[in-house]
């Protein structure tokens, strides 16, 4: 899978200008992905083939949350308790179909694409951030998030025709490129 909009390095240069705000936003994002996996389990308890994987990803995202929290502490700060709406996720959610099966497929595809975008941007952050410890963290993290991309698509393909999933992924990738390219730059992952 390939993103249809490539984030320019200038985006990362801008984002790290306020690395503390970036870390706050990122901590929040990791916690949300862990929550999202758990809410999929709660909503679809009968889809037993994917529950183990969802638990596993949730654990890994929670670990990322812990690691970002540690970086926030290392920088001498605490969680600021500010939960900003994520305009990226909002933009992607608007494409979700309402039929229950289609909705399930779309959620998994969006999860996968969001992992891909996250991974792309973590790598860029690692290249420009002016702190060796943070740079190392983001370089490692980008590799770990790469693994989640395939996990979510594999889950979708357990329940839906592979070609259907690929076709839908293309459509959502188009939307994701539009959303990503149009959002104003902030010290945040999106």
Pick the piece of the chain touching Fe ion (CB under 5 A) from 13-21, 58-66, 149-157, 175-183.
58-66
How does 139-175 read in b/e, with b if 16+ C-beta sit within 10 Å?
eebbeebbebbebbbebbbeebeeeebeebbeebbeb
CB of 141 to Fe ion, least distance (A): 7
CA distance 16 to 2: 25
Residue 8-37 contact track with Fe ion, rule CB under 5 A, x = bound:
----------------------x-------
CA distance 183 to 88: 8
Candidate residues 28, 61, 86, 106; the one interacting with Fe ion per rule CB under 5 A:
61
Residue 100-119 contact track with Fe ion, rule CB under 5 A, x = bound:
---------------x----
CA distance 180 to 63: 26
Neighbours of 49 (CB within 10 A): 11
Residue 148 contacts Fe ion per CB under 5 A: yes
Considering the complex, state which of residue 28 and residue 30 has its C-beta at the smaller distance from Fe ion: 30
Considering the complex, state which of residue 38 and residue 102 has its C-beta at the smaller distance from Fe ion: 38
Candidate residues 25, 86, 106, 145; the one interacting with Fe ion per rule CB under 5 A:
145
Rounded alpha-carbon distances, angstroms, from residue 36 to 52, 88, 103:
14, 15, 14
CB 189 within 8 A of CB 29: yes
CA distance 127 to 94: 32
Residues 119-138 that bind Fe ion (CB under 5 A): none
Residue 64-93 contact track with Fe ion, rule CB under 5 A, x = bound:
x-----------------------------
Considering the complex, state which of residue 19 and residue 29 has its C-beta at the smaller distance from Fe ion: 29
Give me the residues that bind Fe ion (CB under 5 A), please: 30, 61, 64, 115, 145, 148
């Amino acid at each position: 899978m390939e993103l249809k909009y490539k984030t320019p390095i200038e985006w990362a240069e801008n984002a790290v200008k306020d690395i503390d705000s970036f870390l706050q936003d990122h901590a929040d994002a990791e916690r949300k992905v862990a929550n999202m996996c758990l809410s999929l389990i709660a909503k679809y308890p009968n889809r037993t083939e994917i529950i183990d994987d969802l638990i596993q990803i949730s654990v890994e995202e929670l670990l990322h949350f812990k690691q970002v929290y540690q970086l926030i502490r290392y920088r001498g700060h605490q969680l600021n308790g500010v939960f900003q709406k994520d305009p990226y996720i909002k933009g992607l959610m608007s494409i979700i179909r309402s039929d229950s099966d289609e909705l399930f497929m779309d959620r998994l595809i969006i999860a996968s694409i969001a992992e891909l975008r996250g991974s792309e941007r973590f790598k860029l952050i690692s290249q420009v951030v002016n702190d060796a410890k943070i740079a190392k963290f983001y370089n490692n993290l980008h590799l770990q998030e790469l693994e989640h991309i395939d996990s979510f698509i594999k889950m979708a393909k357990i329940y839906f025709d592979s070609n259907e999933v690929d076709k839908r992924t293309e459509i959502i990738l188009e939307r994701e490129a539009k959303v990503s390219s149009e959002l104003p730059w902030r010290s945040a992952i999106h």
